[in-house]
Amino acid sequence: MSSNHNHSASGEETKRHKVEGPQKHIVGFVMSLALTIIAFAAVSAGEINPTFTYIILVAMAVVQVFIQMAFWMHMKDRGHTFPIIAIFAGVFVVFTMVIMALYWVWW
């Protein structure tokens, strides 16, 4: 399995490549697990101010999603400019829709 296999015609420059190990994915898994447990614990504990609980929940979800997209969906790897543009275009529309739906219905 020589890793300096030349396929420069594909546009990718050849590079010496060491294949990544599973460590960072296990770290991502443990972090996701911890964030999930914090979110569930915040709700199960009760007794916390609802507004504050909402803030904790949203923060945990957003952090977890960033971790998963960066590591598991490889978005932190190079050559992911267009995927990032595509997803954030989607997220922008979603954000607008959620705000608008809540605004129109409840205020």
Partner 1 sequence: MSAHDHLDGQLPHEPEKATLEARNKILGFWIFLGAETVLFGTLFSAFLALRHNIGDGPTANELFQLPMVFAATMLLLTSSLTSVFAVQSLHHHKKNAMVGWLVVTIVLGLCFLGLEIYEFWHYVHEGHGFTTSAFSSSFYTLVGFHGAHVAFGVLWISLIIGQIFKKGLTVVTAPKVYISAIYWHFIDVVWVFIFTVVYLMGKVGG
Calculate ∠ Cα 38-93-61, nearest 5°: 5
94 binds partner 1 (CB under 8 A): yes
Whether 7 and 14 have beta carbons less than 8 Å apart is answered as: yes
Q: Total binding residues for partner 1 by CB under 8 A?
A: 58
31 binds partner 1 (CB under 8 A): no
**Alpha-carbon distance 107 to 104, whole Å?**
6
Structure token digits, residue 63: 């952090």
Q: Which is nearer to partner 1, 28 or 76 (CB)?
A: 28
61 binds partner 1 (CB under 8 A): yes
89 binds partner 1 (CB under 8 A): yes
19 binds partner 1 (CB under 8 A): yes
